[in-house]
Amino acid sequence: MTVPSASMLHMRTGGIRLIICAALTALAGGFATPAHAQRPAGPGPRVAHRAAPAAPAVVARAAYLYDATTGTIQLSKEATRRMPVASLTKVMTAYVVLREAGLNDIVTINAADVRHAATNGATGASLRAGERLTVRDLLYGVMLPSGADASHALARVYGPGQAGFVAKMNAAGRSLGLTGTRYTNPDGLPKPGGGHSTARDQARLAEIALRDPALLTIASTRRHTMPVSKTHRAHTWTNTNKLIGKTPGALGLKTGYTRAAGYCLSFAADRDGHRLIGVILGDAKSDRRFRTANRLLNWAGDQISGTQDPVDDL
Protein backbone atom coordinates (compact mmCIF):
# COMPACT_ATOMS: atom_id res chain seq x y z
CA MET A 1 0.00 0.00 0.00
CA THR A 2 1.36 3.36 -0.97
CA VAL A 3 1.25 5.99 1.74
CA PRO A 4 0.46 9.44 0.31
CA SER A 5 3.08 12.02 0.85
CA ALA A 6 2.41 15.25 2.70
CA SER A 7 2.44 17.15 -0.57
CA MET A 8 -0.20 14.85 -2.05
CA LEU A 9 -2.45 15.30 1.04
CA HIS A 10 -2.12 19.05 0.79
CA MET A 11 -3.17 19.00 -2.87
CA ARG A 12 -6.18 16.81 -2.18
CA THR A 13 -7.33 18.95 0.77
CA GLY A 14 -6.95 22.11 -1.26
CA GLY A 15 -8.95 20.59 -4.07
CA ILE A 16 -11.77 19.65 -1.76
CA ARG A 17 -11.86 23.21 -0.45
CA LEU A 18 -12.06 24.54 -3.96
CA ILE A 19 -14.92 22.19 -4.83
CA ILE A 20 -16.86 23.18 -1.70
CA CYS A 21 -16.37 26.91 -2.39
CA ALA A 22 -17.51 26.47 -5.97
CA ALA A 23 -20.62 24.60 -4.86
CA LEU A 24 -21.55 27.27 -2.31
CA THR A 25 -21.07 29.99 -4.89
CA ALA A 26 -23.34 28.20 -7.34
CA LEU A 27 -25.97 27.65 -4.65
CA ALA A 28 -25.97 31.31 -3.71
CA GLY A 29 -26.19 32.47 -7.31
CA GLY A 30 -29.97 32.84 -7.15
CA PHE A 31 -29.62 35.28 -4.23
CA ALA A 32 -26.77 37.31 -5.53
CA THR A 33 -27.22 41.07 -5.45
CA PRO A 34 -25.97 43.03 -8.44
CA ALA A 35 -22.81 44.88 -7.71
CA HIS A 36 -24.40 48.28 -8.33
CA ALA A 37 -27.11 47.49 -5.79
CA GLN A 38 -24.55 46.57 -3.16
CA ARG A 39 -23.25 50.11 -3.06
CA PRO A 40 -24.71 52.26 -0.26
CA ALA A 41 -27.65 54.20 -1.62
CA GLY A 42 -27.47 57.96 -1.56
CA PRO A 43 -29.93 60.04 0.50
CA GLY A 44 -33.43 59.58 -1.02
CA PRO A 45 -36.42 61.92 -0.81
CA ARG A 46 -37.75 62.49 2.69
CA VAL A 47 -41.45 62.31 3.56
CA ALA A 48 -42.34 64.70 6.35
CA HIS A 49 -45.00 63.45 8.72
CA ARG A 50 -46.24 66.21 10.99
CA ALA A 51 -48.09 65.17 14.10
CA ALA A 52 -51.59 66.56 14.44
CA PRO A 53 -51.47 69.66 16.65
CA ALA A 54 -52.84 69.38 20.16
CA ALA A 55 -56.14 71.04 20.97
CA PRO A 56 -55.88 74.71 21.98
CA ALA A 57 -55.67 75.33 25.70
CA VAL A 58 -58.95 76.05 27.49
CA VAL A 59 -58.70 78.14 30.65
CA ALA A 60 -62.43 78.16 31.41
CA ARG A 61 -63.77 75.83 34.09
CA ALA A 62 -65.57 73.57 31.61
CA ALA A 63 -65.70 73.08 27.85
CA TYR A 64 -67.00 70.67 25.27
CA LEU A 65 -66.61 70.47 21.51
CA TYR A 66 -67.95 67.84 19.17
CA ASP A 67 -68.65 67.15 15.53
CA ALA A 68 -72.43 66.84 15.36
CA THR A 69 -72.22 65.37 11.87
CA THR A 70 -70.18 62.34 12.93
CA GLY A 71 -70.78 62.35 16.69
CA THR A 72 -67.03 62.63 17.32
CA ILE A 73 -66.04 64.33 20.58
CA GLN A 74 -63.18 66.70 19.83
CA LEU A 75 -62.58 68.09 23.31
CA SER A 76 -64.02 67.52 26.77
CA LYS A 77 -63.06 69.34 29.94
CA GLU A 78 -65.23 68.90 33.04
CA ALA A 79 -68.05 68.42 30.52
CA THR A 80 -70.46 66.77 32.99
CA ARG A 81 -69.80 69.15 35.86
CA ARG A 82 -73.02 70.83 36.97
CA MET A 83 -72.75 74.59 37.16
CA PRO A 84 -74.79 77.73 36.45
CA VAL A 85 -74.93 78.66 32.77
CA ALA A 86 -76.34 82.21 32.98
CA SER A 87 -78.11 83.35 29.80
CA LEU A 88 -77.35 80.14 27.93
CA THR A 89 -80.64 79.29 29.64
CA LYS A 90 -82.36 81.40 26.99
CA VAL A 91 -81.59 78.78 24.34
CA MET A 92 -84.08 76.50 26.08
CA THR A 93 -86.49 79.44 26.41
CA ALA A 94 -86.39 79.96 22.65
CA TYR A 95 -86.70 76.21 22.04
CA VAL A 96 -89.86 75.97 24.16
CA VAL A 97 -91.41 79.14 22.69
CA LEU A 98 -90.97 77.80 19.16
CA ARG A 99 -93.03 74.76 20.16
CA GLU A 100 -95.73 76.76 21.91
CA ALA A 101 -96.20 79.79 19.66
CA GLY A 102 -96.48 80.93 16.07
CA LEU A 103 -93.75 83.25 14.86
CA ASN A 104 -96.32 85.85 13.84
CA ASP A 105 -98.22 85.76 17.14
CA ILE A 106 -98.41 89.17 18.82
CA VAL A 107 -97.23 89.70 22.41
CA THR A 108 -97.93 92.89 24.35
CA ILE A 109 -95.15 94.02 26.71
CA ASN A 110 -96.29 94.97 30.19
CA ALA A 111 -94.70 96.84 33.09
CA ALA A 112 -93.67 93.62 34.86
CA ASP A 113 -91.58 92.56 31.89
CA VAL A 114 -89.70 95.85 31.85
CA ARG A 115 -89.35 95.95 35.64
CA HIS A 116 -87.99 92.39 35.75
CA ALA A 117 -84.93 93.30 33.68
CA ALA A 118 -84.37 96.65 35.37
CA THR A 119 -84.63 95.54 39.00
CA ASN A 120 -82.40 92.49 38.49
CA GLY A 121 -79.65 94.39 36.73
CA ALA A 122 -80.09 92.18 33.69
CA THR A 123 -79.43 92.96 30.06
CA GLY A 124 -82.56 94.05 28.21
CA ALA A 125 -83.92 94.66 24.74
CA SER A 126 -85.02 98.22 25.67
CA LEU A 127 -88.70 97.27 25.55
CA ARG A 128 -91.44 99.50 26.93
CA ALA A 129 -94.79 98.66 28.39
CA GLY A 130 -97.54 98.78 25.77
CA GLU A 131 -95.37 97.81 22.82
CA ARG A 132 -96.71 94.95 20.72
CA LEU A 133 -94.22 92.75 18.90
CA THR A 134 -94.31 89.45 17.07
CA VAL A 135 -92.88 86.32 18.66
CA ARG A 136 -90.28 86.32 15.91
CA ASP A 137 -89.08 89.81 16.85
CA LEU A 138 -89.08 89.00 20.55
CA LEU A 139 -86.91 85.97 19.89
CA TYR A 140 -84.41 88.30 18.24
CA GLY A 141 -84.62 90.37 21.42
CA VAL A 142 -83.93 87.27 23.50
CA MET A 143 -81.06 85.83 21.46
CA LEU A 144 -79.12 88.89 20.23
CA PRO A 145 -78.97 91.42 23.10
CA SER A 146 -80.00 88.70 25.62
CA GLY A 147 -83.04 90.66 26.70
CA ALA A 148 -84.47 89.50 30.02
CA ASP A 149 -87.50 91.73 29.37
CA ALA A 150 -88.21 89.82 26.14
CA SER A 151 -87.74 86.39 27.72
CA HIS A 152 -89.96 87.39 30.66
CA ALA A 153 -92.75 88.48 28.29
CA LEU A 154 -92.60 85.24 26.30
CA ALA A 155 -92.58 83.08 29.43
CA ARG A 156 -95.48 85.04 30.92
CA VAL A 157 -97.62 84.46 27.83
CA TYR A 158 -96.62 80.91 26.92
CA GLY A 159 -96.31 79.38 30.38
CA PRO A 160 -98.71 80.81 31.04
CA GLY A 161 -96.78 82.44 33.86
CA GLN A 162 -93.14 82.00 34.86
CA ALA A 163 -93.68 78.83 36.91
CA GLY A 164 -95.65 77.16 34.15
CA PHE A 165 -93.03 78.05 31.58
CA VAL A 166 -90.15 76.75 33.73
CA ALA A 167 -92.03 73.47 34.12
CA LYS A 168 -92.18 73.22 30.33
CA MET A 169 -88.45 73.96 30.11
CA ASN A 170 -87.61 71.14 32.50
CA ALA A 171 -89.98 68.76 30.76
CA ALA A 172 -88.26 69.56 27.47
CA GLY A 173 -84.88 69.00 29.07
CA ARG A 174 -85.91 65.56 30.28
CA SER A 175 -87.27 64.62 26.87
CA LEU A 176 -83.97 65.65 25.26
CA GLY A 177 -81.91 63.63 27.72
CA LEU A 178 -80.34 66.61 29.47
CA THR A 179 -79.78 64.68 32.69
CA GLY A 180 -77.48 67.26 34.28
CA THR A 181 -79.80 70.22 33.71
CA ARG A 182 -82.35 71.96 35.90
CA TYR A 183 -83.98 75.31 35.13
CA THR A 184 -85.47 77.68 37.72
CA ASN A 185 -86.28 80.65 35.45
CA PRO A 186 -86.36 81.48 31.73
CA ASP A 187 -83.33 83.80 31.70
CA GLY A 188 -80.54 82.31 33.85
CA LEU A 189 -80.49 85.07 36.46
CA PRO A 190 -79.28 84.04 39.95
CA LYS A 191 -82.77 84.35 41.45
CA PRO A 192 -84.36 82.12 42.63
CA GLY A 193 -81.14 80.08 42.38
CA GLY A 194 -80.52 76.39 41.96
CA GLY A 195 -80.48 76.36 38.17
CA HIS A 196 -77.63 74.45 36.59
CA SER A 197 -76.51 72.52 33.52
CA THR A 198 -73.36 71.01 32.03
CA ALA A 199 -71.21 71.80 29.01
CA ARG A 200 -72.21 68.51 27.42
CA ASP A 201 -75.94 69.10 27.99
CA GLN A 202 -75.74 72.60 26.55
CA ALA A 203 -73.92 71.33 23.47
CA ARG A 204 -76.63 68.73 22.98
CA LEU A 205 -79.32 71.40 23.34
CA ALA A 206 -77.50 73.71 20.90
CA GLU A 207 -77.30 70.99 18.26
CA ILE A 208 -81.04 70.26 18.54
CA ALA A 209 -82.08 73.92 18.72
CA LEU A 210 -80.15 74.78 15.56
CA ARG A 211 -82.16 72.24 13.61
CA ASP A 212 -85.03 74.73 13.75
CA PRO A 213 -84.66 76.99 10.68
CA ALA A 214 -86.13 80.01 12.45
CA LEU A 215 -83.79 79.77 15.42
CA LEU A 216 -80.83 79.10 13.14
CA THR A 217 -81.60 82.29 11.21
CA ILE A 218 -82.05 84.33 14.38
CA ALA A 219 -78.92 83.06 16.14
CA SER A 220 -76.80 83.62 13.02
CA THR A 221 -77.88 87.26 12.60
CA ARG A 222 -75.34 89.91 13.51
CA ARG A 223 -77.81 92.80 13.74
CA HIS A 224 -81.60 92.99 13.64
CA THR A 225 -83.35 96.30 12.96
CA MET A 226 -87.04 97.03 13.45
CA PRO A 227 -88.26 100.36 12.11
CA VAL A 228 -90.82 102.26 14.12
CA SER A 229 -94.41 101.18 13.57
CA LYS A 230 -97.86 101.82 15.01
CA THR A 231 -97.32 99.03 17.54
CA HIS A 232 -93.72 99.51 18.69
CA ARG A 233 -90.74 101.81 18.79
CA ALA A 234 -87.73 101.41 16.54
CA HIS A 235 -85.29 98.80 17.80
CA THR A 236 -81.82 97.75 16.70
CA TRP A 237 -80.30 94.72 18.39
CA THR A 238 -76.69 93.58 17.91
CA ASN A 239 -75.62 90.03 18.57
CA THR A 240 -73.45 89.74 21.69
CA ASN A 241 -71.73 86.73 20.11
CA LYS A 242 -68.52 88.14 18.61
CA LEU A 243 -67.98 85.06 16.44
CA ILE A 244 -70.83 86.06 14.13
CA GLY A 245 -69.49 87.73 11.00
CA LYS A 246 -65.87 87.06 11.97
CA THR A 247 -65.39 83.32 12.35
CA PRO A 248 -65.99 81.40 9.10
CA GLY A 249 -69.24 79.44 9.15
CA ALA A 250 -70.30 80.67 12.60
CA LEU A 251 -73.97 80.05 13.41
CA GLY A 252 -74.38 81.49 16.89
CA LEU A 253 -75.54 80.55 19.45
CA LYS A 254 -75.65 82.36 22.84
CA THR A 255 -73.57 84.28 25.35
CA GLY A 256 -74.08 84.46 29.09
CA TYR A 257 -72.66 85.99 32.25
CA THR A 258 -73.35 86.16 35.96
CA ARG A 259 -70.85 86.31 38.80
CA ALA A 260 -71.62 82.73 39.74
CA ALA A 261 -71.49 81.39 36.20
CA GLY A 262 -68.62 83.46 34.85
CA TYR A 263 -68.48 84.16 31.12
CA CYS A 264 -70.20 81.46 29.09
CA LEU A 265 -70.61 80.77 25.40
CA SER A 266 -72.57 78.27 23.34
CA PHE A 267 -71.23 78.31 19.77
CA ALA A 268 -71.46 76.48 16.47
CA ALA A 269 -70.02 76.61 12.96
CA ASP A 270 -70.27 74.68 9.72
CA ARG A 271 -66.91 73.56 8.29
CA ASP A 272 -66.42 71.37 5.21
CA GLY A 273 -69.84 69.80 5.49
CA HIS A 274 -69.53 69.20 9.23
CA ARG A 275 -71.37 71.02 12.00
CA LEU A 276 -69.17 71.75 15.01
CA ILE A 277 -70.89 72.49 18.32
CA GLY A 278 -69.12 73.83 21.39
CA VAL A 279 -69.71 75.22 24.85
CA ILE A 280 -67.43 77.17 27.19
CA LEU A 281 -68.49 77.67 30.81
CA GLY A 282 -66.97 79.69 33.61
CA ASP A 283 -64.31 81.78 31.91
CA ALA A 284 -62.97 84.66 33.98
CA LYS A 285 -62.53 86.96 30.96
CA SER A 286 -65.21 87.97 28.48
CA ASP A 287 -63.12 88.20 25.31
CA ARG A 288 -61.11 85.08 26.03
CA ARG A 289 -64.15 82.83 25.57
CA PHE A 290 -64.47 84.11 21.97
CA ARG A 291 -60.77 83.68 21.25
CA THR A 292 -60.86 80.18 22.69
CA ALA A 293 -63.95 79.25 20.68
CA ASN A 294 -62.40 80.60 17.49
CA ARG A 295 -59.22 78.60 18.06
CA LEU A 296 -61.18 75.44 18.83
CA LEU A 297 -63.27 75.78 15.68
CA ASN A 298 -60.21 76.39 13.50
CA TRP A 299 -58.34 73.50 15.09
CA ALA A 300 -61.28 71.10 14.69
CA GLY A 301 -61.85 72.34 11.14
CA ASP A 302 -58.23 71.54 10.30
CA GLN A 303 -58.69 67.99 11.59
CA ILE A 304 -61.65 67.61 9.25
CA SER A 305 -59.96 69.08 6.19
CA GLY A 306 -56.59 67.51 6.84
CA THR A 307 -54.76 70.83 6.85
CA GLN A 308 -52.68 72.32 9.61
CA ASP A 309 -52.95 76.02 9.00
CA PRO A 310 -51.97 78.49 11.70
CA VAL A 311 -54.79 79.15 14.14
CA ASP A 312 -55.96 82.73 13.77
CA ASP A 313 -57.26 84.84 16.60
CA LEU A 314 -60.29 87.07 16.31
Question: Quick check: is 129 in a domain?
Answer: yes
* Nearest residue to 277 (alpha-carbon basis) of 251, 299, 256, 255: 251
CB 176 within 8 A of CB 265: no
CB 59 within 8 A of CB 284: yes
Percent of the chain residues past pLDDT 90, beyond the cut:
78
Q: Is the Cα dihedral 5, 11, 15, 16 positive or negative? A: positive
Question: Quick check: is 9 in a domain?
Answer: no
Q: Which residues contact 128 (CB under 8 A, 6 or more apart)?
A: 109, 114, 233
Question: Quick check: is 40 in a domain?
Answer: no
Q: How confident is the model at residue 171 (pLDDT cuts 50, 70, 90)?
A: very high
87 is catalytic: yes
Question: Quick check: is 49 in a domain?
Answer: no
Q: What 3 state SS string does 142-155 have?
A: HHCCCCHHHHHHHH
Q: Which residues contact 130 (CB under 8 A, 6 or more apart)?
A: 108, 109
220 is catalytic: no
* CA atoms of 77 and 59, how far apart (whole Å): 10
Mean pLDDT of 80-104: 98
Question: Quick check: is 30 in a domain?
Answer: no
**Would you state the pLDDT for residue 312?**
58
Q: What is the mean pLDDT of the chain?
A: 87
* CA atoms of 237 and 289, how far apart (whole Å): 21
Count of structural domains, the chain = 1
**Would you state the pLDDT for residue 62?**
98
* Catalytic entry in 126, 146, 151, 220: 146
- Structural domain for 217, as ranges: 62-305
**Would you state the pLDDT for residue 19?**
39
Question: Quick check: is 181 in a domain?
Answer: yes
**Would you state the pLDDT for residue 71?**
96
Percent of the chain residues past pLDDT 70, beyond the cut:
81
Mean pLDDT of 192-203: 96
* Catalytic entry in 5, 7, 76, 87: 87
CATH number assigned to the domain comprising residue 78: 3.40.710.10
Tell me the β-bridge partners of 77: 63
90 is catalytic: yes
> What φ, ψ does residue 250 adopt, rounded to 5°?
-65, 140
Question: Quick check: is 48 in a domain?
Answer: no
* CA atoms of 55 and 304, how far apart (whole Å): 13
**Would you state the pLDDT for residue 53?**
83
126: left (phi over 0), alpha (psi -120 to 50) or beta: left
* Catalytic entry in 90, 168, 242, 254: 90
**Would you state the pLDDT for residue 308?**
53
Query: What are 262-307's pLDDT values in tens digits?
Result: 999 999 999 999 999 999 999 999 999 999 999 999 999 998 987 6
**Would you state the pLDDT for residue 1?**
44
Question: Quick check: is 3 in a domain?
Answer: no
Per-residue pLDDT at 233 exceeds 90: yes
Per-residue pLDDT at 33 exceeds 80: no
* CA atoms of 32 and 38, how far apart (whole Å): 10
